[in-house]
Chains A and B, each alone.
Chain A
Amino acid sequence: MLAYYFNLALRSLKRNKVLTALMVLTIALGIGTSMTTLTVMHVLSGDPIPQKSAQLFRVRMNVFPDANFKPGDKVPDNLTRRDATALMGDARGDRQAMMSAGSMVVSTAQGDPLSVEARYTSADFFPMFDVPLRYGHGWSRADDTARERVAVISAALNEQLFGGRDSVGKTLNVGDQSLRVIGVLGDWNMNPRFYDLSNGKFGDSEQVFVPITTALDLHLPTSGNTNCWGSGADVHAMNAPCLWLQYWVELDTPSKVAAYRQYLHNYIAQQQQAGRFTHRGQVSLQDVMQWLDAKGVVPSDVRLQMWLALGFLGICLLNTVGLLLAKFLRRSGELGVRRALGASRKAIFMQCLVEAGIVGLAGGVVGLALAGLGVLLVRHQPTDYAAFIHMDLGMLLTTFVLALLSSLLAGLLPAWKAMHVAPAAALKSN
């Protein structure tokens, strides 16, 4: 029976090509724009490290002296060197890392000097963030303490400087200092770069990783946000009143999280007793997804575009409802004949829905092409996330389901109306 309806629907659609084309195009435009923006949302709001995102926590606290603190203020993103060093010393998490971004010029005996992005961090960084290593290994906590002049480099930098060969043991020159390569990363590109969102939320991973103790020892240049509330000769000094270090901790059970939170509160209370500040202080412990949400990693423009596109889809659907209504009611006569010949109301309803569904499928196919075009356009936008936007199988399927569902939805009212066409009246007026 469905095949028969399908046949009828095709004939009907062929009879009025302009109206059919208009309906298909309307649905396609709605689907195309909303799928494009949904794809962008889907990619941008994805979990960068799904296997561990619930176990990694960004540690923040408010250590402003009273002068710069208002109750209800947001807890600052970064820690002072003094606090980060104290937390590292206590090492109460399963793993912990303090870090900062940097940028520098590296050179080797052979190659041209290159300007690179760097990360100064501590030993746990590699196991914490599941960073794969192709050659060599990361450094140890002992290396951190000993301020070893070592570096781990990215696969891309290894390719550029050493032709992709095992470069463990080679030397990198940074300023008037030198570092020994002890490891080369495998494919690792964390996006969004959740561990430090202050230097571009999306982008390639850093090219050089150096123990932060070594970087401080050598005064390697840092980049990112530095927020100070007093003057001094060196913003990186141990007691400088400056927030510039990111701090992460790994905690694998909820009880450990609770214990760590208590530990932070105790730490703040101690500092308060020592007279560092007069307010009660604040601490914040957020896992990866909470952190991404708090930092608004999905740009508000993108959300706005998505809502705009969904509103647009809504209008397209209203339009389709109107056109389908016109189409079905214009065929009152034909439907009357079918009813008079014994077709049930349900049959008429089904027939109309099949017709709406065909329009929806066609709209979905064209809409998919439009969405593909849209994604292509987004990829050519000069935003930092552009390169990561792609359409996957899931989104492809979603497109079809969305197209079909929305056209069936649009077909409901017209089909309902058509089913109630009185056979006698329709026949008589003919």
Chain B
Amino acid sequence: MTIHPMIAALRKHKAGVVLIALQIALTLAIVCNAVFIIGQRIQRVDRPTGLKEQDLFLVTNQWVGAPTGDDPASIQKLDSLLREDLVTLRSLPDVASVSPVNSMPLLNSSWNGAVALQPGATLQTIKARTTYFFGDQNFVTTMGLHLIAGRDFNAGDVANKGFRNTSEPNIIIVTKALADQVFPKGNAIGKAIYLDGSNTPSTIVGEVARLQSPSTGSGSNASVWNAVIEPARLDGNFALYAVRAKPGRIQAAMREVAPALYKADPMRVLDDDSVKSFADIRAHAYRADVGMAILMGVICLILLGVTAAGIVGLTSFWVGQRHRQIGVRRALGARKSDILHYFQWENLLIAGGGAVAGVGMAIILNLLLMKYYEMNRLPVPYVLAGVVVVLLLGQCAVFAPARRASNVPPVVATRSA
């Protein structure tokens, strides 16, 4: 099969050829980038938090009539309410362990700051941004974190303080990511760091493998694995408890919580949202990403469908127009498969041209997205896969009209068109 006559034939349908090629190019550009966005979203949604997420849930409690002040008497009163709740929760039959917390990964409410190696940090001496978690001696166990060096907190390490109090702790546990960033040579255990420009050192006693920051925004990617755990119970008008149920007993444990807390002290508010499994927190945190991925996916599919329909429509028209020509070729000895192949090659030629233009457009679109929407560079495999997809799409779309063309009997040649 020679290309030359095919190009000559296509010249007669310039408008149609350009339209199909343009459509294929645009489809390629949009689908490549959309699939890349979907891939990035899925990657973000799938990253592990460092928690053992199964059997973990969160209880949010607000007390009624509890003191609002932060004088020592009010704080001690709030702390006794908190400790009573911890006793109540720990005594539940299906609960394995409980820790008071200030937040959890993916909860989108975070307490952030900076870490330095010298007291009274300045911009030059700040080593890393970090997020803070507060919990007691059960925090690491309850969250299901993996302690890789040093020791866990013990009961003697844990103090309580007012919710608005920002004084710094003597000892802390950090994530490996943060330790590596501040002490690139390793061995962070036993070293002292200064939190938030403070003048008092905090000594690192333990290191956990991984713990994700509570924020899920895309802007926080750089420090998403940096975390400091402080051994403290925060006393405020409300309290959050992380609860680990005994294996497989999460449903039962979640049902036990509200009645038990109300029985111990009815002066509180627990609403529908107050007892939430970590699975729900995860679903909630990433709902927009998942929604966006689904929407993009659907648009991509429709787009491919529309493009295929366009190819079917125009090729059918060409086949109809060239009925007589096809008949003549058949009469001159062309086999059915020759006719079929002719239209397939023709489509490959157009789609190939479209794909070449499409690769250029995909790259331009990607550059625009990088400029305005914090996108990453589109990897080559995505573009190549896109090219294969549009070429295959063209071949599938052209098959039906091409077969119809190959079925044109040679006798057509003898009829006046």
Contacts and interface: CB of A to CB of B under 8 A. Distances in A.
Interface of A: 19, 22, 26, 29, 33, 66-70, 103-105, 107, 113-115, 173-177, 218-221, 228-236, 299-301, 303-305, 308-309, 311-312, 314-316, 318-319, 321-323, 325-327, 329-330, 381-383, 413, 417, 429
A175 B67 contact: yes
B356 interface: no
B15 interface: yes
Interface in B254-277: 267, 269, 271
Given A175-B68, A326-B16, 9 more contacts: A67-B120, A104-B237, A231-B167, A231-B168, A234-B70, A300-B374, A308-B34, A323-B314, A429-B417
A329 B317 CA distance: 9
Contacts of B67: 175-176
Interface string B12-33: 0001100110110011001000
Interface stretch (B143-151, B243-251, B291-299, B376-384): B291-299
Given A229-B196, A230-B196, A305-B295, A175 B373 contact: no
Contacts of B167: 231-233
Given A22-B309, A175-B65, A381-B291, A229 B197 contact: yes
Contact of B22 (A175, A230, A300, A318): A318
A105 B237 contact: yes
Nearest to B27: A315
A308 B30 contact: yes
Contacts of A232: 165-167
B306 A29 contact: yes
B130 interface: no
A323 B313 contact: yes
B313 A304 contact: no
Interface centre among B37, B120, B306 (most CB of A within 10 A): B306
Contacts of A304: 37, 369, 373
Contact of A311 (B26, B288, B313): B26
Nearest to A317: B23
A176 B317 contact: no
Interface residues of B, number: 67
A361 B239 CA distance: 59
Interface string B186-201: 0000000000111010
Nearest to B21: A318
A67 B62 contact: no
B313 A22 contact: yes
Contact of B306 (A70, A230, A316, A326): A316
Given A105-B269, A230-B197, A382-B287, A29 B62 contact: no
Contacts of B166: 228, 230-233, 235
Contacts of A235: 164, 166
Contacts of A29: 302, 306
19 contacts: A22-B313, A67-B123, A115-B62, A219-B74, A230-B166, A231-B167, A234-B164, A236-B164, A299-B288, A300-B373, A301-B292, A312-B299, A318-B22, A319-B306, A326-B313, A382-B284, A382-B288, A383-B287, A413-B15
A322 B313 contact: yes
Return the 3 tightest CB-CB contacts between A and B, nearest first.
A326-B317, A319-B310, A175-B68
Contacts of B291: 381-383
Contact of A315 (B23, B65, B162): B23
Nearest to B368: A307
B307 to A, nearest CB: 7
A360 B73 CA distance: 74
Given A219-B70, A311-B30, A231 B295 contact: no
A105 B68 CA distance: 11
Given A177-B68, A319-B309, A308 B320 contact: no
Among B64, B123, B236, B271, the most chain A Cβ lie within 10 Å of the Cβ of B64
Contacts of B200: 231
Most A-side CB within 10 Å, residue of B196, B313, B373:
B313
A220 B68 CA distance: 6
Nearest to A321: B19
With a 10 A CB-CB cut-off, give which of A303, A321, A326, A383 has the most chain B CB atoms: A326
B140 interface: no
Contacts of B307: 315, 319
Contacts of A413: 15
B331 to A, nearest CB: 19
Contacts of B20: 322
B230 to A, nearest CB: 12
A176 B70 CA distance: 13
Contact of B313 (A19, A303, A383): A19
B15 A325 contact: yes
A175 B62 CA distance: 10
B122 A66 contact: yes
B69 interface: yes
B76 to A, nearest CB: 14
A314 B306 CA distance: 11
A404 to B, nearest CB: 20
Contact of A308 (B16, B236, B296): B296
A221 B237 contact: yes
Contact of A67 (B122, B198, B321): B122
A381 B122 CA distance: 44
Contacts of A314: 26
Nearest to B77: A176
Contact of B63 (A105, A230, A236, A381): A105
A316 B120 CA distance: 61
A417 B113 CA distance: 67
A423 B165 CA distance: 90
B123 A330 contact: no
A420 to B, nearest CB: 12
Given A173-B65, A325-B15, A67 B26 contact: no
B26 A218 contact: no
A315 B30 CA distance: 10
Nearest to B310: A319
A228 B196 contact: yes
A175 B237 contact: yes
A233 B313 contact: no
A70 B197 contact: no
B303 interface: yes
Contacts of B309: 22, 26, 319
Contacts of A300: 373-374
B238 interface: yes
B66 interface: yes
B122 to A, nearest CB: 4
B10 interface: no
B236 A221 contact: yes
Given A33-B299, A68-B123, A315-B23, A383 B320 contact: no
B157 to A, nearest CB: 19
Contacts of B284: 382
A305 to B, nearest CB: 7
A276 B19 CA distance: 66
Nearest to B295: A305
A300 B68 CA distance: 39
A129 B238 CA distance: 31
Contacts of B164: 233-236
Contact of A383 (B19, B22, B288): B288
B19 A325 contact: yes
A231 B166 CA distance: 5
B64 A105 contact: yes
B121 interface: yes
Interface in B56-88: 62-70, 74
A318 B291 CA distance: 28
